[in-house]
């Protein structure tokens, strides 16, 4: 079955039977847990959209490995048009869920590993690429969710992996056995790990000679023996445990971040895609980061659309929508949001084929895209906060609305324009709160800053790719010097 429905995905996840530490307790039945379920539903939306006639063109593709129809989240991009469709798909998913839908990291990792394994084999005579093709064809066939895992804890940032007091602070190979390897370490900030069937692990930085044990790329099921998951806290997350959904802000969907520990996990040989080839690790990091920096030009824009819509709506409900400064702020929000989208589209449209045959984005423009994403959502959030008004931070809880004596007072004193829509006004304010200061802000703001690397990482890449020498030549030629 190459295309699962959302329901079939949920069933497969339940069968996987992952468990994790959630708020201090080892917890099973994660898809049924009220804290986790919204994030699972967000991933399920990527399956349901692939079934919908209107979204099918964006959400599905023809597999380059098998020729079958597959979900685009498992696609190896075959053209610049594919890269553009990826961005459009992510914007659509952001529109539908209003949160991080978690499924992009595996897609971005796969596209990077696909081309790097090919080049590694060509340079080193290794046999990783064939293995990866086989592995990924299996992922496509079963329409699985893969968590792409890159970020190590990194310990003392001033020290290299091998110089850390504890060498496990960078995930590494601790044993080589016939038929496979044993790995130990941890990966932080794992978006959607508990909603994933598989995890594809990559090195976190460019390794140097002498750091062969840390130059490792492999895949294992998320329930492999030795793996332990720790569910991350998000602002106001326990609101999801309260009766009623109004105060959650986003009533249906949410994101998920996890810390995953690998305690001597065995990886069979056929799932090892890099092991000791230090010269390939930097390229893998750079390529994955490039694809993921492109991704943000789609997903954050999709969520931004929701925030702009909510801001316009609250202005209407407050009766401020005709004020010229409000109109101008909304225009500014649209301008910023579409600028990020334009960068996502541009780095995709100028994509190029790799030696392995899949398409890679324009790296310079992907880094420009992400650098804008480290700023613009913050400005969008500031403008949304401005438009919403102070009630955003002071509103009584939804529970008061249903109290016989408090409810009528809330309805009387929180009435605006039109008078009848107090509950709608509270809902819109909670949605804005969710995105600018609540659980949704983890993905919309913190992840915009740090996901796929912080701004300093993009600046390094822009400095490297910006061709300053070439630009100086232009000036020199013009001046005859
Ligand atoms: Fe996808 Fe965006 Fe979430 Fe990353 S932050 S997984 S790109 S939705
Ligand atoms: Fe991310």
Q: Which of 99, 299, 343, 369 is catalytic?
A: 299
Q: What is the pLDDT of residue 1?
A: 56
Rounded to the nearest angstrom, the distance between the alpha carbon of 236 and the centre of ligand 1 is 21
Average pLDDT over residues 28-53: 97
Task: Supply 37's token pair.
Answer: 């379920």
> Mean pLDDT of all residues in the chain?
97
pLDDT above 70: residue 419: no
Long-range CB contacts (within 8 A, 24+) of 348-354: 348/80, 348/83, 348/84, 348/86, 348/87, 348/294, 348/297, 349/80, 349/83, 349/84, 350/80, 351/77, 351/79, 351/80, 351/83, 352/80, 354/114, 354/115, 354/118, 354/119
Q: What is the pLDDT of residue 2?
A: 82
Rounded to the nearest angstrom, the distance between the alpha carbon of 431 and the centre of ligand 2 is 21
Ligand 1 pocket check for 101: Cβ under 6 Å? yes
pLDDT above 90: residue 420: no
Pick the atom of ligand 1 nearest to 299's CA.
2
3-state DSSP call for residue 216? Answer: strand
Catalytic annotation present for 19:
no
How does residue 446 score in pLDDT terms, banded at 50, 70 and 90? very high
pLDDT above 90: residue 434: yes
Ligand 1 pocket check for 27: Cβ under 6 Å? no
Average pLDDT over residues 454-458: 97
What residue's CA is closest to ligand 1, atom 8? Answer: 100
Ligand 1 pocket check for 191: Cβ under 6 Å? yes
Count of H helices and E strands in the chain? 18, 14
Q: Which domains does the chain have, with CATH numbers?
A: 282-479 (1.20.140.10)
Catalytic annotation present for 97:
no
């Amino acid at each position: 079955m190459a295309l699962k429905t959302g329901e079939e995905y949920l069933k497969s996840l339940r069968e996987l039977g992952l468990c994790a530490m959630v708020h201090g307790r080892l917890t099973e039945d994660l898809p049924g847990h009220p804290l986790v379920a919204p994030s699972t539903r967000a991933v399920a939306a990527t399956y349901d959209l692939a079934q919908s006639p209107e979204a099918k063109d964006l959400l599905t593709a023809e597999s380059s490995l098998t020729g079958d129809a597959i979900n685009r989240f498992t696609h190896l991009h075959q053209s610049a048009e594919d890269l553009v469709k990826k961005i459009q798909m992510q914007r659509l998913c952001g529109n539908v869920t209003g949160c991080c839908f978690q499924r992009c990291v595996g897609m971005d990792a796969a596209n990077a590993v696909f081309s790097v394994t090919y080049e590694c084999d060509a340079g080193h005579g290794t046999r990783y690429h064939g293995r990866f093709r086989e592995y990924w064809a299996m992922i496509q066939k079963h329409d699985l969710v893969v968590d792409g895992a890159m970020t190590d804890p990194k310990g003392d940032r001033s020290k290299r992996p091998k110089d850390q007091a504890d060498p496990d602070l960078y995930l590494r190979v601790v044993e080589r056995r016939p038929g496979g390897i044993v790995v130990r370490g941890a990966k932080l900030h794992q978006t959607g790990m508990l909603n994933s069937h598989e995890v594809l692990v990559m090195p976190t930085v460019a390794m140097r000679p002498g750091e062969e044990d840390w130059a490792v790329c492999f895949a294992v099921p998320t329930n492999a023996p030795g793996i332990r998951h720790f569910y991350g806290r998000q602002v106001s997350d326990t609101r999801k445990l309260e009766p009623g959904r109004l105060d959650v802000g986003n009533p249906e969907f949410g994101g998920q971040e996890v810390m995953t520990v690998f305690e001597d996990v065995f990886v069979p040989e056929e799932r090892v895609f890099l092991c000791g080839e230090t010269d390939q690790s930097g390229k893998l990091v750079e390529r994955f980061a490039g694809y993921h920096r492109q991704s943000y030009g789609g997903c954050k824009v999709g969520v931004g659309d929701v925030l702009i819509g909510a801001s316009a709506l609250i202005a209407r409900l407050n009766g401020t929508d005709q004020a010229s400064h409000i109109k101008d702020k909304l225009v500014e929000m649209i301008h910023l949001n579409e600028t990020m989208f334009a960068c996502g589209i541009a780095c995709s449209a100028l994509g190029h084929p790799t030696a392995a045959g899949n398409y890679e984005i324009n790296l310079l423009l992907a880094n420009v895209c992400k650098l804008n994403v480290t700023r613009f959502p913050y400005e969008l959030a500031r403008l949304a906060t401005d438009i919403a008004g102070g009630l955003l931070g002071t509103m009584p809880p939804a529970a008061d609305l249903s109290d016989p004596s408090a409810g009528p007072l809330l309805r009387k004193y929180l009435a605006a324009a039109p008078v009848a829509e107090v509950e709608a006004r509270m809902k819109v304010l909670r949605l804005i709160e969710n995105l600018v200061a609540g659980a949704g802000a983890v993905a919309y703001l913190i992840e915009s800053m740090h996901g796929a690397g912080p701004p300093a990482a993009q600046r390094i890449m822009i400095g490297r790719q910006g061709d300053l020498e070439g630009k100086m030549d232009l000036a020199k030629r013009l001046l005859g010097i």
